[in-house]
Structure 1
Amino acid sequence: MNDHYLKKLDRVTAILTQLQSKPIVRAQDLAAKFDVSIRTIYRDVKTLENAGIPIIGEAGSGYSLMDGYKLPPIMFTKEEVLSFITAEKLMQKFSHQSLGNHYQTAMEKVRSVLRHSDKNLIQNIEKQIHVFNDHTQPGDTVKNVIPTILESIADKTQLVIEYKTVDSTVTNRTVEAVGVFFEFNYWYIMAFCTLRKDFRQFRVDRILQIFKTQTLFSQEYGQINDYRRYSNGEKTRVRLLVDKKIIGHIVNSRRYYGFIEETETENGIEMIFDTEWIDEGFPRWVITFADYATVLEPESLKTKLRNLASEISKKME
């Protein structure tokens, strides 16, 4: 069997996997994924049909497997099995507790279809992988809170939540959840708040009660990243001129402080931020590299940095 037919076999097998995992698969998406022409995809689909796979659909729309059709268990490669083990370790440390049990049962189903040799591989290697994470997730008041949120997003129905704010005030909100995200070691909901008529983010561990309703969303929403620009607090514009030699040390952390853009100049890198933490978090972050940075604006940040440096100096006497 020459290289051409081996590539076709791999591609046709991968297309079958796509059909098993998605409700509708478009020819143009498959062509882009495998870097071939759409006509080649049409021929590959025809090959599957000739092999007895009941595919519904046609060129120009999309393809799917006939409802109820069952295929034999998928055979995983050794590399895929090893990736499962690594992902499981990460999930054990970083997944929200309302998702953990569901992921565990899903992994048990995956393990059940592995070959005997792959099961031995897991047993031998899983104790050699460890993820160190000292942050302890707070306990939830509500069971299955994230699955409930995700169900409401899938069904496009509103949620009613009882929420405790940072100052311990308890409020009731009706929200339309756009998505969930993990940041600063906490899980958050990004949602449209019907009370405020604007987008808000809510920390999941501060939800005291949550109820699904039958009320449909009042509007359509895009992807969660389209709404990450919204926040609960007022922002302050900050401009810093930073020495190029220090950029590599702050390039990852800057996004947590409202980084927007940067411009290279003769004197260094000018960086612009919109930050909510101008009073505490931002000055304490800047002071870690203040000897390589100049504050261009606002003046209030210069004052805060001088006061902070003075307090540090006194403690060092």
Structure 2
Amino acid sequence: MNKTERLLAIVLELQRKGVLRAEDLAAIFETSRRTIYRDIQALSEAGVPVVGSPGLGYSLMEGYFLPPVSFTVEEAVVLLIGADFIEQKFDISYGARAQTSQRKIEAILPESVRREATRVRTSIRLLASGEAVNSGQEKEYIETWRQSILEERKVNFYYSKVTSADGDKRDSVRTVAPYGLVLVSGAWILIARCDLRQELRHFRLSRMSNLTVLEDRFKVPSNFNLQDYQPADDRHLCVRIQANHTISDKIKESNNFYMESLEDHQDGLIVTLRVRQIEEILSWVLGWGAEVVVLEPESLRDRVREEAERMLKRY
């Protein structure tokens, strides 16, 4: 990064974060504090109103905002594809704003950059991973959860959970304090503290109904950070299957969430998975038919055998 690029980047960082110390800027741009001091002096001489506060750091004078900057083709593509993603996967309100954002970005791009960005963009397609694109109902739920998270208001809803391979469901009423939304393999997951369980739980939006935003307020714990959050791993059941070589590539490409390891052997591909209960993996195993055999646990072997017998009776 040359000096001109660094000066622009410093202004953008101050505009984005408000106040930064010289050592913070030095760490960000991998340079010395002395260089940052010279850069701040150069910005001031160029008319950029940088204010230095002893013991606090540097900031931009209130009301100052850097005019629109030019985008490279790659930067424009990133922004436009990001808007495509928001339009597909978020709620209707954000989807509409994604469209207007696209139009504004395209309007300020030079013709050559816009043409090249369009060419690259049309070569990339966003597909839902693992599940179909969100239903209209689910998009409405995203908007409800988004607002309740920002307003720190509890929500009551009905939750339906499949409890067996036969499709049996167990419905319950939950009241939760929502902490955040996460998109996992094409499915939206709510991270929330459940009043019933008195702990953090995960809820699929696709299994919800009858959402009611309550007047009850809550506070997200100061030590909770959604970006750093790692759920406790309670997948204690080890599953091992052997797959014929004819489908080993397909098994690898399936990228099943529960997979832990893949080992090529003379007799086939050995797949090790770790789950909470066998129902989580039963349908996936059955989907490969006679091309796979369960090595362990015996309980899963029994369930596969039972399902095969039930299918045989149907035919």
TM over 0.5: yes
The residue aligned with 1:135 is: 132
Question: What is the CA–CA distance in structure 1 between the aligned matches of 2:255 and 2:118, rounded to whole Å?
Answer: 40
SS in 2 for 1:140: helix
Aligned-pair Cα RMSD in Å:
4.2
From the superposition, tell whether residues 93 and 135 of structure 1 become closer, same or farther in structure 2 (CA, over 3 Å): same
TM-score, length of structure 2 as denominator length:
0.72
- Cα offset for 1:162? 2.8
Give 1:79's aligned amino acid.
Answer: E
The residue aligned with 1:146 is: 142
From the superposition, tell whether residues 23 and 170 of structure 1 become closer, same or farther in structure 2 (CA, over 3 Å): farther
- State yes or no: 1:89 paired with 2:92: no
SS in 2 for 1:19: helix
Contact 1:142–1:208 under 8 Å retained in 2: no
TM-score, length of structure 1 as denominator length:
0.71
- Cα offset for 1:190? 0.7
Q: Which runs of 5+ in 1 are unaligned?
A: 1-5
Question: What is the CA–CA distance in structure 1 between the aligned matches of 2:270 and 2:30, rounded to whole Å?
Answer: 39
Deviates more, 1:84-93 or 1:123-132: 123-132
- Cα offset for 1:139? 1.9
Deviates more, 1:94-103 or 1:11-20: 94-103
Deviates more, 1:303-312 or 1:178-187: 303-312
The residue aligned with 2:166 is: none
- Match 2:153 to one of 158, 169, 174: 158
The residue aligned with 1:209 is: 211
SS in 2 for 1:179: strand
Q: How does 1:224-243 map to 2 (within 5 A)?
A: 226-229=229-232, 237-240=237-240
- State yes or no: 1:18 paired with 2:30: no
The residue aligned with 1:3 is: none
- State yes or no: 1:190 paired with 2:191: yes
- Match 1:73 to one of 64, 68, 78: 68
Count of residue correspondences? 300
- Match 1:34 to one of 21, 29, 35: 29
The residue aligned with 1:302 is: 301
From the superposition, tell whether residues 284 and 124 of structure 1 become closer, same or farther in structure 2 (CA, over 3 Å): closer
From the superposition, tell whether residues 135 and 292 of structure 1 become closer, same or farther in structure 2 (CA, over 3 Å): closer
Deviates more, 1:204-213 or 1:178-187: 204-213
Contact 1:262–1:271 under 8 Å retained in 2: yes
Q: Cα deviations across residues 53-104 of structure 1 (Å, max 9, x unaligned)?
A: 2234558745432221122212112222233333333344334444311222
